[in-house]
Amino acid sequence: MKKFLQKKLKNEKGLTLVELLAVIVILGIIAAIAVPAIGNIIENTKYNAVKADAINALNAANMYYSENTKTPEAGITVGTLVDDGYLENKGKLTVAMTIAKSSEKKVTINGTSEEYAGGKTVTFNTATLDDINSDEQKGSKSGNKTLPAS
């Protein structure tokens, strides 16, 4: 029986230290490539969420303007849309951001959003729905964003 166990133990194969180190190095390389790519995807998604909040606010303002014929010349704020029930929540927009009708009867949004990722903000400078939808900037690029792009 003793000889049988010794023979079985000699035939056991396992990972050598070199093989184990090779696997760890390969996993490290994969992690070094994947982590920054995933970070950019997350940041771009947060940027797109701010743009979606602005689109929702513009659509809510369209409803507000169609139901309320007497509106202030300076426009309405995101806070007003939330308070009056036209917008469920402000998202990453600030309550002081203004939405107004331009002379061409287009609804525009003005103001700077809250921080969406690492101190980055989006500034809407009389941005219309078309400006926001045609934006091809990426949130992962460094710096704050301005729409429409200047």
| pTM for the structure as a whole | 0.76
Is 76 a residue whose pLDDT tops 90? yes
- CA–CA separation, 94 and 25 (whole Å): 46
Residue 35 in tokens = 């982590």
Calculate the alpha carbon distances from 46 to 50, 138, 143 in Å: 7, 10, 14
Question: What average pLDDT does the segment 55-74 reach?
Answer: 87
Predicted pLDDT of residue 140: 72
- pLDDT tens per residue across span 126-148: 898 998 999 888 877 777 888 88
Looking from the CA of 53 toward its CB, the CA atoms found within 13 Å total: 25
Predicted pLDDT of residue 2: 72
- pLDDT tens per residue across span 7-60: 666 666 677 889 899 999 999 999 999 888 888 888 889 999 999 999 999 999
Distance of CA 81 to the CA centre of its chain: 22
Predicted pLDDT of residue 78: 93
Q: Are strands 98-101 and 122-127 parallel, antiparallel or unpaired?
A: unpaired
- CA–CA separation, 53 and 56 (whole Å): 5
Predicted pLDDT of residue 72: 75
Predicted pLDDT of residue 8: 66
